[in-house]
Chains A and B, each alone.
Chain A
Amino acid sequence: MRRVSVQEADFDAGAELAALAADGAGGVASFIGVVRAESGGQKLVAMRLEHYPGMTETMLARLAEAAMARWALSGCTIIHRVGRLTPGANIVLVAAASRHRAEALAAAAYLIDRLKTEAPFWKAEEFCAGGEAWVAARPEDEAAGKSWA
């Protein structure tokens, strides 16, 4: 199975992983990104996520396809939330199922690394002390994305 979703609603990570496991591959690897409690020493009230509707879905579908082509996967899932999310809330889930753990783990790392540089999402942080700031891209994310080329 291949599942890609951009949504405001929360996701049930357990149910998503169970759906991948149901394919019978034998192993599922995943990464879940969660809204952090602070950023640069400042406590966060919330994080706002926006995206480029129409382009995002295409880019995520391509990533899923590329992972399926690169590793022997029985399935993979990418779910990314948008909107206003509070600390502790789920942001993103990537998961890959395979007969071999090395393939599942590598595919999950690939999906999150490439998602960070190839999917048109932007984050703004709202601070407890007031004010907000757009998150700047990190050079190490750029390097991690490129490392899979």
Chain B
Amino acid sequence: MRILYFAWLREKIGVGQEEFAPPAGTLTPRDLALVLSARGPGYAAAFADMRLIRCALDREFAGLDESLGAAAEVAFFPPVTGG
């Protein structure tokens, strides 16, 4: 799947997007964040406080505990601040 990061998540992780094949058993965005956190200190810092993380599955806002289903694109970002 393609994973996208925005705002300070992108800065902490160091890339805006990447391809990643999550291991079996990665069922939700929260599971995925946990798996990603183990990839390095930047990831761990980005996902340190999950209360600050929002996500989208295939460009639709989704809850962290929703099923990833067949999503091809998962995005992680802080709460939006437009306007």
Contact = CB atoms under 8 A, between A and B. Distances in A.
Interface of A: 33, 49-52, 54-55, 58, 80, 91-92, 112, 115-124, 134-137, 141-142
B56 A122 contact: no
Nearest to B11: A134
A71 B69 CA distance: 36
B4 interface: yes
Given A54-B59, A55-B59, A115 B83 contact: yes
> Does more than half of chain A's interface fall in helix, strand or loop, or is it mixed?
mixed
Interface string B67-83: 00000000101111111
Contacts, number: 69
Contacts of A50: 6-7
A49 B8 CA distance: 12
Interface of B: 4, 6-8, 56, 59-61, 75, 77-83
Given A58-B59, A124-B7, A137 B83 contact: no
B56 A120 contact: yes
A55 B6 CA distance: 13
B56 A119 contact: no
Contacts of A123: 81-82
Contact of B83 (A33, A124, A142): A33
Contacts of A112: 83
A49 B7 CA distance: 9
A52 B57 CA distance: 12
Contact of A91 (B8, B60, B83): B83
